[in-house]
Amino acid sequence: MAKAPANPKAFPTLALETVLIQRVSGPVCGVDEAGRGPWAGPVSAAAVILNPDDLPPGIDDSKALTEKRRAALEPEIKARAVAWGVGFASVEEIEDLNILHATGLAMCRAIEALSVQPVAALVDGNYRFKLPCEIQTVVGGDGLSLSIAAASILAKTARDRLMIELDAQYPGYGFAGHKGYNAPAHTAGLKALGPCPAHRRSWAPIKALLEEA
């Protein structure tokens, strides 16, 4: 018996943007974040208003792309989008506000950095952050909406670049490789050196090390 062909991967489109633009009669941006789960470093967010007549080919969920492909798409998105913005919330803000509210703060900063202010935003996930415009949440949005996918790329590349800078500032933890996430090299660095100012001290593994000290 012949095997049925595998379903081809569905790529994000502008379908959600088109419907929302028609409803709100104004610009719509896609918003996504990077870095909610790591043990170290800030959380980043990006907002992008795409030009439907000038779309860079190959935009997809950042997690589905290689680092090289994300790096190639970043300048293309920035050059061809109607507007784009990136925002961060610091480690201190994550500790003060908690990661959820710090993520919302980074998203607000990303939207406020846009040269064209949107009437509405498509936001990846199901949490209704308080943002400076109307929002529509989209579960799995980085795989459905081109604007959210573009934002996911800009948020990821911006944060990765910052983590490489932190690696130079705080050597020994391997930030340039794992970008602050859980990894054997990160655990080894923490055990050898203890936490540095870039670490989220309220995170369970960091708290455990501090309690042992």
Query: Where is the binding site, in residues?
Result: 32-33, 124
Identify the band that residue 204 occupies on the pLDDT scale cut at 50, 70 and 90. Answer: confident
Give CA separation, 78 vs 27, 46, 55, 60, 169, in Å: 17, 11, 11, 15, 28
Q: Is the pLDDT of residue 210 over 90?
A: no
Q: How many residues does the chain have?
A: 213
Q: Please give the share of the chain, as a percent, with pLDDT higher than 90.
A: 90
Asked if residue 52 lies in contact with residue 14, where contact means CB atoms within 8 angstroms, the answer is: yes
Asked if residue 85 lies in contact with residue 47, where contact means CB atoms within 8 angstroms, the answer is: yes
Query: Where is the binding site for a divalent metal cation, in residues?
Result: 32-33, 124
Q: Please give the share of the chain, as a percent, with pLDDT higher than 70.
A: 95
Domain assignment present for residue 211? The answer is no
Q: Provide the residue type at 125 as one letter.
A: G
> For position 208, what pLDDT does the model report?
84
> For position 3, what pLDDT does the model report?
43
Domain assignment present for residue 4? The answer is no
pLDDT in tens, 85-122: 999 999 999 999 999 999 999 999 999 999 999 999 99
pLDDT in tens, 1-60: 344 344 557 889 999 999 999 999 999 999 999 999 999 999 999 999 999 999 999 999
Domain assignment present for residue 20? The answer is yes
> For position 209, what pLDDT does the model report?
78
- Category of 25 on φ-ψ map: left (φ > 0), alpha (ψ -120 to 50) or beta: left
Query: How many domains does the chain contain in total?
Result: 1
Give CA separation, 138 vs 42, 148, 154, 171, in Å: 24, 9, 18, 38
Domain assignment present for residue 28? The answer is yes
Distance CA 33, CA 46 (A): 6
Name the strands in the sheet holding 43-49, side by side, starting at the edge strand that comes first in the sequence. 83-89, 43-49, 28-34, 120-124, 134-138
pLDDT in tens, 78-93: 999 999 999 999 999 9
Which CATH number does the domain housing residue 54 bear? Answer: 3.30.420.10
Task: Kindly report the average pLDDT of the chain as a whole number.
Answer: 94
Return the H-helix or E-strand segment holding 45: strand 43-49
Domain assignment present for residue 79? The answer is yes
Domain assignment present for residue 48? The answer is yes
Domain assignment present for residue 22? The answer is yes
Q: Is the pLDDT of residue 212 over 80?
A: no
How many CA atoms are closer than 13 Å to the CA of 1, on its beta-carbon side? 2
Domain assignment present for residue 94? The answer is yes
The residue range of the domain holding 114 is 15-170
pLDDT in tens, 139-167: 999 999 999 999 999 999 999 999 999 99
